[in-house]
Amino acid sequence: MSNTVYGGDEVNAIILDPGTYNTRIGYAGDDFPKIITPSYYGEYSNKDTTKKLFGQDLLIPRSNFEIKPLLKEGLISDWDSTILQFNHLFNQLKIQQSEQPLLLTEPIWSSTEYKTKLIESVYENWQFSGFYVAKVPTCISFQQGRPNCLVVDLGHDTISVTPVVDGICLIKNSMKTNYSGKFLNSIIEDYLQDKNIVWEPSYKIKSKTITKYPEPAQFQLKSGIETTNSYSQFLKLQMYHEFKELLMIPEKGQTEFPKRIFELSTGQQITLEKERFQFADCIFEPKSYEFKNKQLELPPSNGEIKNLNPLNEYRPLKRFKKSEQEENETASTTPNPDVEVRGLSQLITHSLNLIDIDLRSSIANNIIVTGGVSLIPGLTEKLYHELTNNNPGLKIRLHAVGNQQERINQSWIGGSVLASLGTFHQMWVTKQEYEEVGIDRLLNQRFR
Amino acid sequence: MSANDILDVLNISRDDNQPAKKKQKTSTPTDNGKPLTGMARELYNLVGPNTPPINLSSSNYISNKGKQNRQFRPSPWSKVNFTPGKHRNIQLKHWVKGSEELLKQENESDEKKEYFFEKFNIKLDIPEFIDEEKYETYMNEFKDDFREEQFTKRKAERMRQLEEQKKQKKIEEKKEEEKRLEEKKEAEKQEEVKQDIKKEGETKQEENFLEEKKEEQKMGEKSVEPSVEPSKEPSEPVITEEEQRSEDEKIKEEVKKELVQFDWSYQETKELFNLCQIYELKWPTIHDRFPSNHRVEDLKEQFYRICVKILETEENKNQNLIDSLKAFSKPRELERKQYLENLLKRTPAEIAEEESLVIEARRFELAAKKMLLERSNLLTLLDSPQSTQNVSQYQSSQGISNLYNNLMIYDKHQKKKQAHQQKQEPIPPPIPLAASSSIRRDKVFQTNLQQYLASFLKQAHHTNPAIKQEANSIQQLLSKRLTQKEEEAYGLHYHGTEKLTPGVTLRSQQKLPGSNQRQSVLKSVSAVFQEMDLPTAGGTMWKPVMPTRKTMSKYDELLRSVVTMLDIKRAKDKLEAEIKLIKSQKGMQ
C-alpha cells in the first residue's frame, strides 16, 4: 500500500464548511474547495410562486428579489433554505450520495438542540454513506498538523479563541466575541453615515464624475429596475470588503499615517488617513471607536460563551473547599467582572490563563491565526507583541498560513486533510447507526 | 564510393587536409555506439565533408519513447468496497492496486482481512464501573477512613498548638512579671537617687547603710521571684478534659465540612467513568466535557480512588498499578500547579533579573576556570624538572650540547609565549643553565678523591713521561697493603669471584644483580619504591642518587628483599583466596 506513507486513504468524501460569509464545498484530499459560494440565498417572488436562488444567481439585479443570510455566527439560522442550498451544491458537484461520505463542520458554540437538528436534517434529507460533524478548530489544527494548539479564528461574524488538545476542542476554555469583520463593516457604515456619504450599487449608476470628498458626489442613476433594500445591502458587502482592504494595524507610537484614496461607485473619492489605522485597531480595542449611530453598536461582550448546552452548562465557579491558596487561584482564573469588553489579545490572554497550567506553554507555542480579518496587515505582528508583553512567562509563537486564500478557507482544507486520513474512516456514522443508537449517544460518544 | 571519388570524377579539387581529418572523425558515426553498415553507411559517405556539425539523430528520442511505451504496462488499480473496522457497517470505496480478479482471490483466501488502519484504533483498558450499592459502601469507607485519619492528625496538631499557646502565655506572663519587677526597681533606684541628692553631705556610713539596704532589697527581690514561679508550673502542660472535649467537637465539625470532597453522586461518577472511556483518559478533555465544575484534580482523585477499590477486589490484581494509582495526591498536585503558575507569573523584570544572575554565575565560573589554569601554569613554571629520566644520554659532550640547545629553544619558546600572553606581567629571569639540576648532579656523582685522581691522571696523560714516576708512585700506593679504612677512603675494592666485564664502566651504569627479574615483577617493585619515595631512574631502571659501592650494594639488597616481599604477598593472597573459596564451598560463611 503506497498510501500508508502519509497515512492517507482516499474515499472521495465531501467536505462542507458553512461559514457566515461564505460556504465551501469540495472533495476530501483536494487542496482547495471546489465551490466557494456566499452564504446567502435569494428569494424571488413572482405573484404566487417563490423561488430560491443561490450562488452566482444572487448577483443579477431583479425586482421582488430579497437576499437573506443563511447563517448567523456560523450557525445555520434558516434551515429550509440551507438544506436547499446544500442540495444545490450537491447537484452542482454531481455527488453520488450512496458512495460518498459527508463531513460537515460546525462551530464550537453550537447548542445541543442545534446539533440534534443538524444531524437529524442531514440523515433525513440525504443518503450519504457516512456522516461526521467536525468542529472548525479541530479542522484548523489538522490543517496545520498541530494536535495541541490555540485556534484564533477571525471570521466574518465572530472572533473565536479555542484551545485544541489532541485534536479535541476545549469548550470551557473557549472565547468568542463579535468584534470581527461584520463589526468593522458597521464601523465603516457609521463613518460613511456620519460624513453623509451616499453609496449606490454600481449597476444603478448611469454616469458619474470624479469628485473629492468634501464635494458632494455627482452621478446619475439608471431608471427601470426596482431592487429591494436587502439586495443592495448584499452588494454593499463587496464595497465593505474593498474598504477593509485599505485597513492597517498601526505600529506602536506611529504618528504618520500614509494616505489612501478610496473611490466609491458614485465617483466620490474619500481620502483615508488616520481612519484606516483607527478602524483596524478596533480589533484590539473594540471600544476605541465611538459610534455616532448608536443603533449600529454591538452589545458589550467579554468573550465568554454562555449556556453552551444543558450538559456543559457553565455555572459560576463555586468551590466546596476554599483554602487561601485556592482563593488566590480563583481570583486569577475567574473572569474579572469589571471586564466588559475584550479585544483580541485580551481574549487570547484570558483563554490562555484558563487553560490547565501543564498545557499552557505548549499551547502558547502553537497559536494559529486564521480567518479573513487576520489578513489586515500588521495584525499578527501587533498580536505577537501584545501577547508577549502580557504573558512574559510564556513563549508565544504565532502560526499563520502565508497564502491568503488558504487562510480564508483553512477550516475547509483542514476538513479535507481529516477526511482523507486512513484512520479517520472508522469515525463515519451511518444512517443505520444513527437509527440504532439514537441521537444522544451519538452526540456524547461519536461527535466529540 | 565516397564523396571524394565523386569530386575526383568531377575534377573538383579542395583543400585536402582538413576534410580528410573531418572525414576520419565522422567516418565512424556512432548511432547508439554502432558503426553504420550497408546502405546507411554508403549514404553517409556521400555526405562527405559537408557533415553537419551536430549529429541530427532526433529519431533517437522518438524511438526510445516508443520502446518505453511498449515496455510500460500500467499496473491495474481497481475501486473496491471496504469496511473500515470490523464493527462498522459502513461501505466505502477506495482505489487499490491490483486487478479485480486478483483482489477477489485475495479476499476469498483470507476473508477476515483487517482494514489497514484498524490497528490504530486502540481502546484503553479501564475497569468496569460498579453498581450503586458497592459504590455507596466504597464511598462510606473513604469517608470513614478520611474522618479517622484527619481526626487523629488534627487532634495531635491541635494539642500541640494548645500546648504551645499555653507555653507562650506562660512566657508572656513571666515577662510581664519581670517587667513589673524591673519597673519597681527603677522606681526604687530613682528614689535612691533622689535621696542621694538630698543627703549629699551625709556621711559614708549612711551610704554604706544605703547600700546595705539596696542589697537587702535585691535579696528580697530574689526571694520573691521563686515564690511566684512554682505556683504556675504545675498548670502549664496539662490540657483539661473539658478543653479536649470541646476541641474534639470542633475538629469533628471541621472534618465534616471537608467531607464534602466525597460528595460525588453515583450518577456523576458513572458519567466520569464514561468520559474516561470515551476520551481515553485525556484529562484536559474529560475535564472540559464533564458537566459540573470540579477541578481536574478532583476528577482524577475520584477516578483513581474508585479504580483502586475496584482493582483490589479483582482476583489477579496488579499491585504495581494499584500502587501507582494510590500515589496520586491531590494537595501535592495542586501545590505543583501553584508553583508552575507562580513561575509563569513572573514579571519581565524578574525574568530579566534571573537571566542576568545566570549570566553572572556563568561569568564567575569562567573566571574561576581561568584562574585555575593560570595557577597550574605558574606551578609548572615553579616546578623543577623531574629527575626521573635516565641521565645517561647527557653524559657525552654531544648529549650535553643537545640538552643545552633544547633548553635554549624551550626557554625562547616560553619567553615568546609569556610575552604574547601577558605583556604587563614581569617575566621571571630564566634559570641559568649552570644551576640546572641535571648538570649539577653529574658533578655530584664524583667524589673529591675521584676528582683529584681524574685530574691527576689527566695531567699525567698530557705531560711528559718525566712524571711517570709519580704515576708509579700511585701504583706503588695501590700496590701497598692498605688498612680497611684506607681502602674505604680510596674507594678500593677487591673483586673476588665476581665476573668483570672488560673496560671501564661507571657504577651508575652497572646493572644491579637483583634486577634480574621478570618485567612485571620489576614494575611492581618500582611501584613500591615510588610509594616509599625511593629514587628510581624511571620505568624499570634503578639507581640510587649517589651510586657508591655501599649504597649500590644496599640498594641491591633492598631490591631483592622487596622482590621477596612481593612474592610472599602474592602467595599469601593466593592462599587467602583459596581459603575463602573452600570456606564458601563448605558453606561455612
Chain B contact set for A168 (CB, 8 A): 279, 282, 285, 288
- Do B344 and A360 lie within an 8 Å CB cutoff? yes
Enter the ipTM: 0.82
Q: How far does the CA of residue B45 sit from the closest CA of chain A (Å)?
A: 54
Question: In this structure, what DSSP letter does residue B203 have?
Answer: -
Indicate whether A24 and A126 sit together in one domain: yes
- Minimal Cβ distance to A129: which of B91, B335, B340: B91
- Structural domain containing residue A215: 181-296
Which grid cell sits at A333?
482564573
Chain A contact set for B343 (CB, 8 A): 393
Do A355 and A163 form a contact (C-beta atoms < 8 A)? Answer: yes
Q: Which residue, A280, A296, A312, sits at the end of a domain?
A: A296
Q: Which residues contact B35 (CB under 8 A, 6 or more apart)?
A: B28, B29, B41
Please report which helix (H) or strand (E) contains residue A218, including its range: strand A218-221
- For B150, counting Cβ atoms within 10 Å of its Cβ (0-12 exposed, 13-18 middle, 19+ buried), the class is middle
Indicate whether A22 and A134 sit together in one domain: yes
The pLDDT value recorded for residue A85 is 93
Q: Is A423 on the interface with B (CB under 8 A)?
A: yes
CA distance A115 to A131: 13
**Residues in chain A with pLDDT values less than 70:** 1-5, 307-339
Q: Does A3 map to a domain?
A: no
Chain B contact set for A422 (CB, 8 A): 84, 116-117
The pLDDT value recorded for residue A76 is 92
**B482-529: per-residue pLDDT in tens?**
677 777 777 777 777 777 777 777 777 777 776 777 777 878 888 888
Mean pLDDT lowest among A125-134, B160-169, B191-200 = B191-200
CATH number of the domain encompassing residue A47: 3.30.420.40
Indicate whether A122 and A18 sit together in one domain: yes
Indicate whether A211 and A287 sit together in one domain: yes
Q: Is A273 on the interface with B (CB under 8 A)?
A: no
Helix boundaries (H) for B279-345: 283-289, 296-313, 319-326, 330-344
Q: Does A169 map to a domain?
A: no
**Average pLDDT of B543-569?**
83
Q: Which residues contact A95 (CB under 8 A, 6 or more apart)?
A: A14
Do A160 and A107 form a contact (C-beta atoms < 8 A)? Answer: yes
Band (pLDDT 50/70/90 cuts) for residue B165 is confident
- Do A170 and B90 lie within an 8 Å CB cutoff? no
Q: Is A259 on the interface with B (CB under 8 A)?
A: no
Q: Does A367 map to a domain?
A: no
- Do A332 and B341 lie within an 8 Å CB cutoff? yes
**Average pLDDT value for chain B:** 74
- Do B284 and A11 lie within an 8 Å CB cutoff? no
Count of structural domains within chain A: 2
Report the relative pairing of strands A65-69 and A49-53 from DSSP bridges.
Answer: unpaired
Task: Say what the alpha-carbon torsion angle B144, B146, B147, B151 is, to the nearest 10 degrees.
Answer: 140
- Do A10 and B347 lie within an 8 Å CB cutoff? no
Indicate whether A113 and A48 sit together in one domain: yes
**A390-441: per-residue pLDDT in tens?**
888 889 999 999 899 999 999 999 999 999 988 888 889 988 888 888 888 8
**B202-230: per-residue pLDDT in tens?**
545 555 555 555 555 555 444 444 444 44
The pLDDT value recorded for residue A331 is 41
The pLDDT value recorded for residue B292 is 77
The pLDDT value recorded for residue B433 is 45
CATH number of the domain encompassing residue A275: 3.90.640.10
**Average pLDDT of B280-306?**
87
Chain B contact set for A318 (CB, 8 A): 293
Q: Which residue has the higher pLDDT, B372 or B248?
A: B372
**B460-477: per-residue pLDDT in tens?**
555 555 555 555 666 666
Q: How far is CA B466 from CA A263, B13, B462, B471, B473, in A?
A: 135, 113, 11, 10, 13
Mutation for testing the B interface, residue in A332, A356, A394, A434 having most B CBs under 10 Å: A356
- Report residue B92: phi and psi, to 5°: -120, 165
Q: Does A151 map to a domain?
A: no
**A223-265: per-residue pLDDT in tens?**
877 888 899 999 999 999 999 999 999 888 888 888 889 999 8
CA distance A231 to A67: 5
The pLDDT value recorded for residue A88 is 93
Band (pLDDT 50/70/90 cuts) for residue B34 is low
Q: Which residue, A271, A296, A321, sits at the end of a domain?
A: A296
Q: Is A47 on the interface with B (CB under 8 A)?
A: no
Cβ count near B20 (within 10 Å): 14
**Is residue B437 predicted with pLDDT exceeding 50?**
no
Mean pLDDT lowest among B18-22, B252-256, B356-360 = B18-22
Q: Which residue has the higher pLDDT, B511 or B75?
A: B75
- Do B93 and A444 lie within an 8 Å CB cutoff? no
Q: Is A391 on the interface with B (CB under 8 A)?
A: yes
CA distance B234 to B244: 18
Nearest CA in chain B to A309: B291
Cβ count near A335 (within 10 Å): 16
Indicate whether A124 and A186 sit together in one domain: no
Q: Does A347 map to a domain?
A: no
**B341-392: per-residue pLDDT in tens?**
888 888 888 888 999 999 999 999 999 999 999 999 888 877 765 556 666 6
Q: Does A72 map to a domain?
A: yes
Q: Does A229 map to a domain?
A: yes
Q: Does A111 map to a domain?
A: yes
**Is residue B90 predicted with pLDDT exceeding 60?**
yes
Q: Could you write out the DSSP letters of every residue in B385-412?
A: PPTTS--GGGSSHHHHHHHHHHHHHHHH
**Is residue B58 predicted with pLDDT exceeding 70?**
no
Q: Which residue, A296, A322, A347, sits at the end of a domain?
A: A296
**Is residue B427 predicted with pLDDT exceeding 50?**
no
The pLDDT value recorded for residue B32 is 53
* pTM of the model as a whole: 0.63
CA distance B344 to A396: 12
The pLDDT value recorded for residue B219 is 52
- Do B93 and A168 lie within an 8 Å CB cutoff? no
- Do B89 and A433 lie within an 8 Å CB cutoff? yes
The pLDDT value recorded for residue B462 is 57
**Is residue B233 predicted with pLDDT exceeding 60?**
no
Q: Which residues contact B258 (CB under 8 A, 6 or more apart)?
A: A321, B146, B150
Indicate whether A232 and A283 sit together in one domain: yes
CA distance A55 to A34: 13
Which grid cell sits at B83?
469496511
The pLDDT value recorded for residue B440 is 44
Q: Which residue has the higher pLDDT, B137 or B189?
A: B137
**Is residue B290 predicted with pLDDT exceeding 70?**
yes
A vs B: CB pairs below 8 A: 127
Quote the strand ranges of A277-347, DSSP E.
none
